[in-house]
A and B are shown apart, each in its own frame.
Chain A
Amino acid sequence: MIELKDIRKSYGSFEVLKGITASVEKGEVVCIIGPSGSGKSTILRCINGLESYNSGEILVEGQRVDRDAPSIVSIRTQVSMVFQRFNLFPHRTVLENVIEGPVFVKKEPRKEAIERARMLLAQVGLAEKADAHPPQLSGGQQQRVAIARALAMQPKAILFDEPTSALDPELVGEVLGVMRKLADDGMTMVVVTHEMGFAKEVADRVLFIDGGVIVEQGPAKDVLNDPKHARTQDFLRRVLHPL
C-alpha cells in the first residue's frame, strides 16, 4: 500500500536519501533502523508529505504523494504520524486532541467522534485522562494520546518516528505495549526505532539504512540475528553492546 521508487532528497548540497526503493504491504509492520543522520526519519516525513523529495515517486494506495498538491490532505488522513516529541496540542484537552482531526478535518459529527475518541483512549489505557491537558501527563501518557489521535483518523497506516526516543526508560514499555497491540490487530505500521527488541518481536521486516541507502533488508529475525552486511553487523554490535 506504500511504495517508494528511487527516492532522492537533498538539503542543499547534502544528499540525505540516495535512491530509496521499498514497499510496505497492507497489515505489515516494517521497522527502519540505522545510525542517526542516516535518513530514516526523512523517509517517513516524505511518505506523508511533511518533506518534499527531489526525484523518484512515492505512492500511497496508488496515489502519488506531492506535498504541494491538494491530494496531500487525503493522503495524510489515510497515513497518520506519531512523532518523537508527541506534538500534542497543549492548549486543548486530551479528548479535544483526539477529536480535532475527525471533527475539523474529516467533518465527522462531534458526538460520534467523541464516542470513538473515548474508546480509543480506553484502548491506550487513558480513559480517565480525557479532560486533562497534555502538559499534565507523563511522556509515556502523552505518546499514548498521540497514538490515539493518530488512530482517530481511522488511517490505513501509521508512521512512527522514533516514538520512544524522548521517553524516560521506564516509560518506554507502556508505549511499545500499545504499539504491539496495534500490530497484533493488523495495523500497517512503519516504525523508525532504536528499540531492537521491539523490532525483533513485532516487525515483519526490517530495513537497515545507512548513508541514505538501504544497506540490508529482510525478515526481522534474519536481519537482526544474522546480518549479512558488515555495516549492519557493526551497527547492531554497537547498539546491542554499547560498552
Chain B
Amino acid sequence: MQAFLRDATEFLPILLEGVRLTILVTIGSLILSTLLGLVWAIMRVSSIKIVSRTSAGIINVIRGIPIIVQLFYIYFVMPDLGVSLTALQAAIIGLGIAYSAYQAENFRAGIEAIDKGQIEAAQSIGMGWWMTMRRVVLPQAVRLVLPPYGNTMIMMLKDSSQASTITVAELALQGKLIASSTFKNTSVFTLVAILYLVMSIPLILFVRHFEKKAGRP
C-alpha cells in the first residue's frame, strides 16, 4: 500500500496531464457530436424525402465504420487530401462525427415521441415547421432525451481513450507509456482506472438526476 502511494505521488502529475487531454477530447467531441447529431435528427424527421434519406444515409455510414477506423481516416488519410490536423483536432473531429450518429438517433427518438397533436396545435395557430420545432417539439423532447444523453456522455468519456491510437497522449496512453518504462503495471493501471471512475461519477449523478426528473409528469 505504501509502495502504491509512493508510486501515486510520482505518477499522478503525469497522469493528470493525460486527464486534461481526456477532458478536452471528451468535451470537444461532445459539443461537436451534439451539434451534428441535432442537424442529422432534424433532417431525419423532415417531411422532405431527399433530406430525410440523406440524413439516414449519413447516419448509417457513420454507424457502420468503427470509431478507430474513422480516427485513422481523419488523421492519416486527410493529409493526403491536403487537410492536415493535429492529433488533438483529429481526435475531437473523429469522435465527434462518430458519436453524432448515436446522438442523432437519440434526438430523433425524443422528437418522434412528441404527440402529433402538439404539432397540429402549433400548425393550427400558424406556426411554420421550424418554429414548431423550436417552440413546441424540441423543448419537450429535451426532457426525454437527457437521460440517454448522459449515458452517451459516459461512453464518450471512456471512448476518448481511442484517441491514443492517433498519438493523443490522453490518460490511457500516458498510463501505458509510464507502465512500459517503469514496469509498475499494477500501480499505474489502478491509478488510470480510478481516474476514469472519478471523472464518470459526476456524469452518473447527472443521468440519475434527469432520469428522476423525466419520470415526473
Which of B33-41, B102-110, B119-127 faces chain A? B119-127
**A81 CB-CB contact with B under 8 Å:** yes
Q: Residues of B contacting A76 with CB < 8 Å?
A: 123-126
Q: Residues of A contacting B128 with CB < 8 Å?
A: 73
Q: How many residues of A contact B (CB 8 A)?
A: 24
User: A101 and B126: CB pair below 8 A?
Assistant: yes
Most buried by A among B124, B128, B131, B217: B124
Q: How far apart are the CA atoms of A135 and B128 in the complex, in Å?
A: 25
User: A87 and B125: CB pair below 8 A?
Assistant: no
Pick the contact of B120 from A50, A101, A104, A149 — CB < 8 Å?
A: A50
Which of A8-16, A27-35, A88-96 faces chain B? A88-96
User: A105 and B125: CB pair below 8 A?
Assistant: yes
Interface residues of A in 81-131 (CB under 8 A from B): 81, 83, 85, 87-91, 100-101, 104-106
**A153 CB-CB contact with B under 8 Å:** yes
User: A85 and B217: CB pair below 8 A?
Assistant: no
**A193 CB-CB contact with B under 8 Å:** no
User: A89 and B118: CB pair below 8 A?
Assistant: yes
Q: How far apart are the CA atoms of A106 and B125 in the complex, in Å?
A: 9
Which of B24-32, B93-101, B135-143, B200-208 faces chain A? B135-143
Q: Residues of A contacting B131 with CB < 8 Å?
A: 104-105
Pick the contact of B125 from A49, A90, A101, A135 — CB < 8 Å?
A: A101
User: A88 and B124: CB pair below 8 A?
Assistant: no
Which residue of chain B lies nearest to A89 when distances are taken between CB atoms in the complex?
B136
**B117 CB-CB contact with A under 8 Å:** yes
**A118, chain B: closest CB distance, angstroms:** 18
User: A105 and B117: CB pair below 8 A?
Assistant: no
Most buried by A among B121, B131, B136, B217: B121
User: A149 and B125: CB pair below 8 A?
Assistant: yes
Q: How far apart are the CA atoms of A90 and B122 in the complex, in Å?
A: 12
**B209, chain A: closest CB distance, angstroms:** 18
Binary interface encoding of chain B residues 120-158 relative to chain A, with 1 for a CB under 8 A from any of its CBs, else 0: 111111111001000110011000000000000000000
**A217, chain B: closest CB distance, angstroms:** 25
User: B217 and A100: CB pair below 8 A?
Assistant: no
Which residue of chain B lies nearest to A77 when distances are taken between CB atoms in the complex?
B126
**B51, chain A: closest CB distance, angstroms:** 15
Known: A87-B117, A89-B118. A100 touches B124 (CB 8 A): no
Pick the contact of A50 from B123, B140, B217 — CB < 8 Å?
A: B123
Q: How far apart are the CA atoms of A50 and B122 in the complex, in Å?
A: 11
User: A100 and B125: CB pair below 8 A?
Assistant: yes
User: A73 and B126: CB pair below 8 A?
Assistant: yes
Known: A104-B135, A135-B217. A89 touches B126 (CB 8 A): no
User: A153 and B117: CB pair below 8 A?
Assistant: no
**A17, chain B: closest CB distance, angstroms:** 19
User: B121 and A83: CB pair below 8 A?
Assistant: yes
**B173, chain A: closest CB distance, angstroms:** 44
Q: Residues of B contacting A87 with CB < 8 Å?
A: 115, 117-118, 120-121
Known: A89-B136, A90-B140. A105 touches B121 (CB 8 A): no
**A21, chain B: closest CB distance, angstroms:** 24
What are 24 of the A-B contact pairs (CB < 8 Å)?
A50-B120, A50-B123, A73-B126, A73-B128, A76-B123, A80-B124, A81-B121, A81-B124, A83-B117, A83-B124, A87-B121, A88-B121, A89-B121, A89-B140, A90-B140, A91-B139, A101-B125, A104-B127, A104-B131, A104-B135, A105-B125, A105-B131, A106-B126, A149-B125
Q: Which 10 A-B pairs have the closest CB atoms?
A: A101-B125, A87-B121, A87-B117, A81-B124, A105-B126, A77-B126, A76-B126, A73-B126, A91-B139, A91-B140
Please give 9 more A-B residue pairs, beta carbons under 8 A apart, in addition to A80-B125, A87-B118: A50-B120, A76-B124, A81-B124, A87-B117, A88-B121, A100-B135, A104-B127, A105-B131, A153-B125
